[in-house]
Structure 1
Amino acid sequence: MTQIPAPPWRKTRKASAPRTVLSRDLIVATGLRLIDAEGLDALSMRRVAQALDTGPASLYAHVANKEELLELIYDEVMSEIRVPEPDPERWLEQIRELIMQAFLVFRAHADIARVGLATIPTGPNGLRVAEGQLAIMLAGGVPPKSAAMMIDRLGLYVCSDAYEGSLYVSRQRGSGKELGEFMSEFFGQIATFYRGLPVDRFPNLVARIDDLMDANGTERFEFGLDLLLRGLVSHIREAGPTTKD
């Protein structure tokens, strides 16, 4: 049946666009996108609300405050870290792979690593990763006390290194240059400065500048990680064979 048109004098209301249904997961995902794009300092409840086309007050029905939002975002980032089932024959390799993976995950998310400093995992994903690390090390024969302390040291190592990398990204944003161009120029200036130092006062720095500069961020992280893991292995040797019930 042909529809009868509305009389010209009758004003029809335009259909409004459907409102986004808010949820904690949506708020967390929006906050993480904001951090990835602009850095941690750009995050606020107001900015997240603007991105969701709503008011800040509507967010508080799902998230208590900015501090809780940061904790939730941090734990969401931790969800990207895969934890293998412990294999006693490969425990050292498993720990190394897990920590390298964590480093790359945090480096991919701007300066979210800053949230991990002075923070003890309480979210489900943070606890999952900590539990996995502990299980792998214990399966490999690491003494429980050493394994427990190593979780803390490895977490601090990952977060501090990833956070330092984010500071370079922050400087690069302000420079208006691509990251590769910015880093090449920055470290080129450092190398030039070191080569110009007085040789009589700083003979080793001047002579070894190429060695000092010859490694990227990932290579340096791996170097430090391997030193930490060698130290961890020494605790197994010092503890001697364990007696299993």
Structure 2
Amino acid sequence: MVDRKDPQDVPAPPWRKSRRPAQARRQLSQELIVETGLRILDAEGFDVLSMRRVAQELDTGPASLYAHVSGKEELLELIYDRVLSEIRLPEPDPARWKEQLREYAVEMHDVFRAHADVARAALANIPTGENSLRAGEFTYGLLIAAGMSPREASLAMDRLTLYLVGDAYEGSVHYARMRAAGMSDPAEYFESFVAQIVSYYGGLPTDRFPNLAKHVDELTASDGEDRFHYGLELLLDGIEARMPKP
């Protein structure tokens, strides 16, 4: 009787390419789709993100994603809300409202910087997710508890949020330009960008634009962080000026 051996016991010939071990496919879920979308957004930018690109990354077809996410618009909302989950919120203290708003704004600024293109997702949609609502409740409730009327607090919260998102959006535009130029070092990109501004403004006709031409060094002296904090203090001082006096 012939002893039949397991075919796997026979060594493969040296000229045959070795097979890569099969990767177990992860179970599709909304969480997995959102995490994959965020990874693509961070690595490749807003313009590359699509349902088809996410499906490609997950080694599946786009149709299989729609059981968990209705389309790109909802995916962007979910990605934005996922990013906002990284913001740490303190217990509201109305006596320290200005300090707490400053800390909240800086925290959001840092989170946006870590996910450069996510601000474009914020501008494209009205945030309604759990973490978006959590951030809104903190800001709105803190201002009301500090003495602002609900109407004025709503306006202050709206303008502060728009400033934070707008500042992050400007940064995302620069990152897109940096990628398009084939550059990977932000410091190198911004040095080149500022040099172009200095050259252009410095060459303006001084009879028509005397201040822009003369003070070009002052116009370009502050970096993005300095400008962000300056604008934030302007907003906070403005809110403080409208806060009812004790």
Please, what TM-score do these two structures have when normalized by structure 2?
Answer: 0.88
1:6 alignment partner AA:
D
Cα displacement (A) at 1:18: 2.2
Partner residue in 2 for 1:214: 221
**8 Å CA contact 2:37, 2:49 repeated in 1:** yes
CA distance in 2, matches of 1:108, 1:76: 13
Structure 1 residues 164, 131: closer, same or farther in 2, change over 3 A? same
Partner residue in 2 for 1:5: 5
CA distance in 1, matches of 2:71, 2:159: 29
Question: Among 61, 64, 69, which residue is 2:70 paired with?
Answer: 64
Is the aligned partner of 1:181 residue 2:188?
A: yes
1:233 alignment partner AA:
E
CA distance in 1, matches of 2:118, 2:25: 29
**8 Å CA contact 1:40, 1:110 repeated in 2:** no
Is the aligned partner of 1:141 residue 2:147?
A: yes
Cα displacement (A) at 1:192: 1.6
Cα displacement (A) at 1:7: 6.4
Cα displacement (A) at 1:118: 5.8
CA distance in 2, matches of 1:103, 1:35: 17
Percent identical residues:
54
Partner residue in 1 for 2:45: 39
Partner residue in 1 for 2:110: 104
- Structure 2: tracts of 5 or more residues without a match: 11-18
**8 Å CA contact 2:52, 2:61 repeated in 1:** yes
| Runs of 4+ in structure 1 over 6 Å off | none
- Structure 1: tracts of 5 or more residues without a match: none
Question: Among 162, 169, 172, which residue is 2:178 paired with?
Answer: 172
Number of corresponding residues: 232
Cα displacement (A) at 1:16: 4.9
**8 Å CA contact 1:142, 1:232 repeated in 2:** no
CA distance in 2, matches of 1:223, 1:98: 16
Partner residue in 1 for 2:238: 231
Please, what TM-score do these two structures have when normalized by structure 1?
Answer: 0.88
Cα displacement (A) at 1:38: 1.1
Question: Among 104, 113, 119, which residue is 1:113 paired with?
Answer: 119
Partner residue in 2 for 1:191: 198
CA distance in 2, matches of 1:66, 1:53: 18
CA distance in 1, matches of 2:75, 2:172: 20
CA distance in 2, matches of 1:208, 1:143: 42
**8 Å CA contact 2:77, 2:127 repeated in 1:** no
Structure 1 residues 197, 46: closer, same or farther in 2, change over 3 A? same
**8 Å CA contact 2:116, 2:172 repeated in 1:** yes
Structure 1 residues 121, 17: closer, same or farther in 2, change over 3 A? closer
Partner residue in 1 for 2:132: 126
Cα displacement (A) at 1:209: 1.1
2:150 alignment partner AA:
P
Partner residue in 1 for 2:16: none
Cα displacement (A) at 1:165: 0.8
Deviates more, 1:109-118 or 1:168-177: 109-118
CA distance in 1, matches of 2:144, 2:200: 47
1:94 alignment partner AA:
Q
